[in-house]
Amino acid sequence: MGSSTLLELHFVLIPLMAPGHLLPMVDLARLLARRNVKVTIMTSPQNAIRVQPIIDREIQSGSSIAVQLFRFPNSEAGLPERCESLDTLPSMDLLVNFAKALWMLQDTVEQLFEELSPTPTCVIFDKYLPFVADIAKKLKVPAISFDGTNCFTLLCDHNIHNSKVYESVPKSEPVVVPGLPHRIVFKRSQLPQWFKDNRDQELDAFHEKMREAEEEAYGVIVNSFEELEAQYVTESKRVKGKKVWCIGPVSLSNKDDMDKAQRGKTDSNQEDDRYLKWLDSWPAKTVIYVCLGSLTRVTPAQLMELGLGLEATKRPFIWVLRESHRRDEMEKLLKEDGLEERVKARALIIRGWVPQVLILSHKAIGAFLTHCGWNSTLEGICNGLPLITFPRFSDQFYNEKVAVQLLEIGARLGVENAVHFGEDEDNYGIQVKREKVKEAIEKVMAEEDEESESIRERARNYAEKAHKAMEKDGSSYLNLSLLIEDIYKTTCDIRG
């Protein structure tokens, strides 16, 4: 197919309003646009602010990509003005309101679809927005589910749901996930929220709708690469009975420092240069980077235990703290303990957002202490970093298994219980003590230690594979080509 033919294709992408969903889908949109496909991203004004600079740069380079805005129904759903993303919710009590706002978007999005020119030939929707699949079906447009995780997670979720194995296992007993290439074991308390006891009926209904939309979708796009989890890619295709395209790691679409710095940036005054200059002052592979994601709400007491463990390593570190969650309480504990003052010669504690992809690519970073969100996990893998795992909820315990058990590039902090999104974390107490933090960090960073060096070597090898997958003729590059060709053929068939 020539470029003139590809321009007849029009892909519309609709991400969930949350940084961990928005950013990888925008990366995917840019990859598609670089193949001479017309791309439209649909989102709300406040979410567009996070990605508009990088979209503008893409347009300047010649890509056919645009952002189509829709009004987010804040007032109708009982949300504060400009609260258009999960990470901006001032209280988890508003989580139901946010879900309500998402469902209110259906008529608005459908009307925008009908007004788009040229007519969309493919819709890629976030799996948490299943109503978009209904719109695509009504308009007779192929709908593809974007799953921001990996095939291991897809398969675990599918097999646990179909087998109902968690219902027959006592709470105190481990759950062995059936039908996997490896023996994978979880505690009941580590499984995602939709597998817990006494589930909310509305939540159950929503997840059933998600599953139906995915089953009816033309296929599934996965932000992973075949060399990372070959057996799970093959098995996912078999059990799903549909097309599964691994097209990642999509974060590698950000090739230069400007792209990495602007990805998801919310404030033009943020101090990227200061962070980089500080990192420049340290030898290669010596600094620990610590970030627990945009949605994780860890209690100040647990954060202090984490900080004291970092201090005990006597290693340099960057620690990213959320700016909004119980900030006053956290600042009070830091001041009373004196931790920040004691470590100021070798640590940088940052309140708020940072350019994570840019920081992780710096030569000084030697390890990544992460909440195991899949975006962060992949970004660590792309930079050849060993991972120290601190999962919290949803798919994060699955991703911990990928890093620690399947790839053997990490060390667990030992979290035993998921704290589901919106739950009161104080009910769980301190799950990770400072001694375990120090122990896990040393396991991946110790000098002249055979096991530590093996972990680091495996991490470096997977980074090489990740980059090769995204290069021309790499597995993910070719899979994206197959996806585009597939939609072209399907569109021709539909139009006769």
Measured distance CA(1)–CA(9) in Å, rounded:
11
Length of the chain: 496
CA-CA distance, 218 to 245, in Å (whole number)?
11
- Strand-by-strand arrangement of the 38-43 sheet: 65-69, 38-43, 10-14, 122-126, 143-147, 219-222, 243-246
Full 3-state SS string of 411-445:
EECCCCCCCCCCCCHHHHCCCCCHHHHHHHHHHHH
**Which run of H or of E encompasses 491?**
helix 475-495
Contact 355, 272 (CB under 8 A): yes
CA distance 333 to 363: 32
Round to whole Å and give the CA distance between 158 and 9.
32
> Phi, psi (5° rounding) for residue 208?
-65, -40
Is 182 a catalytic site residue?
no
Q: Which two tokens stand for residue 420?
A: 């589901």
Pick the catalytic residue: 126, 157, 259, 395? 126
Instruction: State the burial class of residue 91 (Cβ atoms within 10 Å of its Cβ: 0-12, 13-18, 19+).
Output: exposed
Catalytic residue of the set 10, 21, 207, 325: 21
Distance (Å, whole) CA 442 – CA 452: 8
DSSP one-letter string for 88-120:
G-S-GGGHHHHHHHHHHHHHHHHHHHHH-SSPP
H-only helix segments in 1-150: 3-6, 19-33, 45-60, 74-77, 95-115, 131-138
Q: Catalytic site residue 21?
A: yes
Q: Residue 53: helix, strand or coil by DSSP? A: helix
Question: In the numeric block, which tokens belong to residue 207?
Answer: 């997840």
Q: Which of 127, 85, 120, 122 is nearest to 222 (CA)?
A: 127
Amino acid code (one letter) for 156:
C
| Cα separation values, 394 from 292, 338, 421, Å | 14, 34, 8
Q: Could you give the residue numbers annotated as active site?
A: 21, 126
